[in-house]
């Protein structure tokens, strides 16, 4: 645990008692704060009471009297589309609003670090797509290289649940826009921006607000080094803002598909090969094509970002390359779950938006595509470049018929349920094809989350194949 500093003998209120909320409550109490908790979910309140936290409806008159700070869980809106009542009251009273990420950064470094030969470092990863894989990949590379590493934030453990760092230890954080937009302290040593595509637009008041939430990690944090994906205009803009000139190697530009040139520091992938250039000279090269855990151009972008972050820590290209080959992949993200009869079965349930589904489809030549769910804003037209790879679509979800009619030029079967879709896809699949779950939609019409959806797909495939894989 990382005890929170600066609130000893003060009242701190926690709004939202999910994983991050309870973790923050424990860390605040460990730092000497008096903690008040609230969640609209009765079961969450019972869990807090079981740990002897004071539970108080923070929306009632006078509930925030004497409170020094309000700590908010990521899913609770503070501005758009409509701010939570308790947050509005807090702001009217002048009470600072923060989250567990802000508490972490204000509390992570301690006086005990003076005894360390090598200070601990924090790598923070954000972006629309690929941040989980990039974070997990950095963590994996560090462990394979014999470095002490902890993975936390939006993946792995809660940030305040991690162990106090050791000499030379590295903490790798995946941070969502919900986390970066509100944190009052953001001070990573290395910050990574993977890419930007439209997502969570209602929460951020549009694409500009969404980018602004991501940008805070760099503008507020002032990292020693920034790894920036420049395949979109927003990444190019961010890299330009952070750089003092073409040769400023505090910014490492990353691309998948475009050769980057100039006197600075670049890492890019083209035709399956990663290349590193620094001061106009090639410093490293890796063949990514046979790395099973990183299929497709989108994963090659993730590999470039992770490579750049690890090179910033001084790891040699050969060490990173060896670790890439042993990377097993993350569940629900281009995860190979079975191979039978010449057919490969891929679980990419995390492809919850059109852009991530497009990238998943582009990674394979001939696809039996299981898709559908709770459709997001913008429609499906952006999938057009990959639809020629689809042998047939098997559409699930309550609105499966409406989803299917948008797939112009693709044979689509309205299956509605995952069980039906898996059965039909397995029956139709031919050797050399891929059965791919990449829904291009949220899961909430049929599942609690994308993990549950991916687990259902995996269970049904393995059961149908008679496999315990």
**177-206, pLDDT tens digit by residue?**
999 999 999 999 999 999 998 888 889 999
CA–CA distance, 324 with 140 (Å, rounded to integer): 8
Q: What is the mean pLDDT of residues 122-143?
A: 95
Long-range Cβ pairs for the range 107-111 (8 Å, 24+): 107/2, 107/3, 107/4, 107/5, 107/6, 107/27, 107/31, 107/160, 108/2, 108/165, 108/171, 110/164
DSSP 337-398: EEEETTEEEEE-TT--SHHHHHHHHHT-SSEEEEE-SB--TT-SGGGGGGGGGEEEEEEEST
Residue 131 clears pLDDT 50, i.e. is over it = yes
335-463 is a CATH 3.90.190.20 domain: yes
Could you read off the pLDDT of 286-331 as tens digits, one per residue? 999 888 888 888 899 999 999 999 999 999 999 999 999 999 888 8
- How far are the Cα atoms of 157, 225, 283, 323 from residue 318, in angstroms, in the given order? 29, 22, 11, 9
Instruction: Report how many helices (DSSP H) and strands (DSSP E) the chain contains, helices first.
Output: 15, 20
Residue 360 clears pLDDT 60, i.e. is over it = yes
CA–CA distance, 215 with 235 (Å, rounded to integer): 10
**Helix, strand, coil shares of the chain as percentages rounded to 5?**
35, 25, 40
Residue 27 clears pLDDT 60, i.e. is over it = yes
Asked if residue 127 belongs to a known ligand binding site, the reply is yes
CA–CA distance, 339 with 290 (Å, rounded to integer): 16
The pLDDT assigned to 103 comes to: 98
Could you read off the pLDDT of 385-402 as tens digits, one per residue? 999 999 999 999 999 999
Which tokens sit at 450?
Answer: 């994308």
Q: What is the mean pLDDT of residues 59-79?
A: 95
Q: What is the mean pLDDT of residues 36-40?
A: 96
Which tokens sit at 394?
Answer: 């098997």
Asked if residue 130 belongs to a known ligand binding site, the reply is yes
Question: Average per-residue pLDDT in the chain?
Answer: 94
Strand partners, 435: 345, 368
Asked if residue 16 belongs to a known ligand binding site, the reply is no
Pairing status of strand 225-229 against strand 251-256: parallel
**If pLDDT is split at 50, 70 and 90, which confidence band does 467 have?**
low
Asked if residue 258 belongs to a known ligand binding site, the reply is no
Asked if residue 128 belongs to a known ligand binding site, the reply is yes
The pLDDT assigned to 468 comes to: 46
The pLDDT assigned to 15 comes to: 97
Q: Is the dihedral of CA 342, 348, 352, 357 positive or negative?
A: negative
Lowest mean pLDDT among 64-68, 330-334, 419-423: 330-334
The pLDDT assigned to 378 comes to: 79
Residue 24 clears pLDDT 60, i.e. is over it = yes
The pLDDT assigned to 111 comes to: 87
Higher pLDDT, 198 or 281: 281
CA 420 to chain centre: 30
CA–CA distance, 360 with 316 (Å, rounded to integer): 30
Which one, of 290, 265, 297, 291, lies nearest residue 195 by Cα? 297
Every domain of the chain and the residues it spans: 11-98, 109-325, 335-463
E-only strand ranges, 272-357: 273-278, 281-287, 335-340, 343-347
Could you read off the pLDDT of 82-117 as tens digits, one per residue? 999 999 999 999 999 999 999 999 999 998 899 999
For the domain covering 109-325, report its CATH number.
Answer: 3.40.1190.10
CA–CA distance, 437 with 460 (Å, rounded to integer): 12
Identify the three-state secondary structure at position 437.
Answer: strand
Asked if residue 111 belongs to a known ligand binding site, the reply is no
Asked if residue 187 belongs to a known ligand binding site, the reply is no
CA 325 to chain centre: 22
Which strands form 67-72's sheet, in the order they lie side by side? 54-55, 34-38, 11-15, 67-72, 97-98
CA–CA distance, 127 with 361 (Å, rounded to integer): 20
* Host H or E run for residue 218: helix 207-219
Q: What are phi and psi of 213, to 5 degrees?
A: -65, -40
Annotation: CATH topology of 11-98:
Rossmann fold (3.40.50)
């Amino acid at each position: 645990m990382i005890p929170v500093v600066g609130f000893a003998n003060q009242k701190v209120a926690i709004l939202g008692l999910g994983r991050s909320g309870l973790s923050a409550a424990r860390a605040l109490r460990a730092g000497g704060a008096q903690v008040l908790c609230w969640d609209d979910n009765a079961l969450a309140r019972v869990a807090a009471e079981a740990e002897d936290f004071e539970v108080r409806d923070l929306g009632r008159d006078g509930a925030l009297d004497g409170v020094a700070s309000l700590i908010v869980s990521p899913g609770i809106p503070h501005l758009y589309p409509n701010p939570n009542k308790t947050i509005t009251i807090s702001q009217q009273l002048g009470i600072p609003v923060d989250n567990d990420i802000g508490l972490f950064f204000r509390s992570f470094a301690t006086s005990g670090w003076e005894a360390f030969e090598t200070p601990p470092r924090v790598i923070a990863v954000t972006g629309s797509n690929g941040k989980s894989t990039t974070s997990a990949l950095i963590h994996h590379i560090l462990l394979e290289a014999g470095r002490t590493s902890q993975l936390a934030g939006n993946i792995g453990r809660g940030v305040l649940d991690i162990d106090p760092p050791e000499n030379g230890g590295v903490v790798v954080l995946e941070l969502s826009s919900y986390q970066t937009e509100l944190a009052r302290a953001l001070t990573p040593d290395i910050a990574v921006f993977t890419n930007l595509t439209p997502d969570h637009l209602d929460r951020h008041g549009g694409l500009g607000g969404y980018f602004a939430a991501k940008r805070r990690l760099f503008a507020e944090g002032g990292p020693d080094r920034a790894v920036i994906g420049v395949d979109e205009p927003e990444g190019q803009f961010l890299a330009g803002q952070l750089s003092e000139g073409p040769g400023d190697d505090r910014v490492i530009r990353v691309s998948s598909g475009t050769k980057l040139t100039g006197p600075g520091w670049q890492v890019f992938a083209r035709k399956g090969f990663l290349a590193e250039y620094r001061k106009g000279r090639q410093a490293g090269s890796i063949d990514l094509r046979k790395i099973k855990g990183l299929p497709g151009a989108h994963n090659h972008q993730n590999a470039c970002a992770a490579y750049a972050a690890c090179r910033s820590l001084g790891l040699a290209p050969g060490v990173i390359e060896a670790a890439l080959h042993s990377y097993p992949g993350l569940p629900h993200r281009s995860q190979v779950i079975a191979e039978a009869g010449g057919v490969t079965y891929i679980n990419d349930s995390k492809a919850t938006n059109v852009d991530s589904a497009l990238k998943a489809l582009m990674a394979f030549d001939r696809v039996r595509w299981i898709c559908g769910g709770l459709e997001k804003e913008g429609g499906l037209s952006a999938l057009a470049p990959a639809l020629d790879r689809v042998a047939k679509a098997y559409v699930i979800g309550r609105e499966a018929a409406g989803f299917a009619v948008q797939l112009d030029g693709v044979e689509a079967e309205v299956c509605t349920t995952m069980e039906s879709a898996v059965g039909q896809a397995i029956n139709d699949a031919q050797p050399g094809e891929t059965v791919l779950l990449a829904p291009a939609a949220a899961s909430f019409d049929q599942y609690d989350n994308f993990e549950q959806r991916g687990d259902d797909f995996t269970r049904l495939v393995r059961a149908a194949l008679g496999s315990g894989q």
